[in-house]
Amino acid sequence: MKLEPTAEQKALLVEAACQVRRWSYSPYSHYPVGAALLTTSGKVYDGVNVENASFPLANCAERTAIFKAVSQGEKDFLAIAVVTENAGSPCGACRQVMAEFGLDTLVIIADSAGKIRLETTVAELLPGAFTPADLPH
């Protein structure tokens, strides 16, 4: 059975994602995104979107947070908060990366004022996800 984050943990994740948005490097889209990822060990990893003049080389906040966690040995996630000005939803690439680490991870989407607009799971955001289980062993 998957652990559920507490209401306090959810609020702290949203606040962390709101705060980290200020470090976004988004000179092209002018759409700063902050993310905060809670692992089962209780650690929080944050991330921002980092754009590039060669647009396809940009990286989203969600993937930045996930890659930071994985680079520190963490692969079990409880929840991720994503904050944008208008509570935008994670892109397809981010959804696929999140699916790699657990379809039941809670995804909290909030606006820049910290108001939660949606709580869902990776599975609900990416039905029919391609996962490691789909690969031949």
Running along the chain, 137 residues long, what does each successive block of 10 average in pLDDT? 88 98 98 98 98 97 98 98 98 97 97 98 97 90
Q: Report the 10 Å Cβ neighbour count for 135.
A: 7
Across the chain, mean pLDDT equals: 96
Angle at 115 between CA 99 and CA 83, to 5 degrees: 45
Query: Which contiguous run of DSSP H or E holds residue 66?
Result: helix 61-71
The pLDDT score that the predictor gives to residue 137 is 81
**Catalytically annotated residue among 8, 15, 51, 62:** 62
Query: What pLDDT, on the 0 to 100 scale, is given for residue 3?
Result: 83
pLDDT of residue 24: 98
Task: Note the pLDDT of residue 1.
Answer: 60
Task: Note the pLDDT of residue 112.
Answer: 97
Q: Is 62 among the catalytic positions?
A: yes
pLDDT for the residue 51: 98
pTM above 0.75, yes or no: yes
- The CATH number assigned to the domain with range 7-123 reads 3.40.140.10
Q: Two tokens at 73?
A: 């040995």
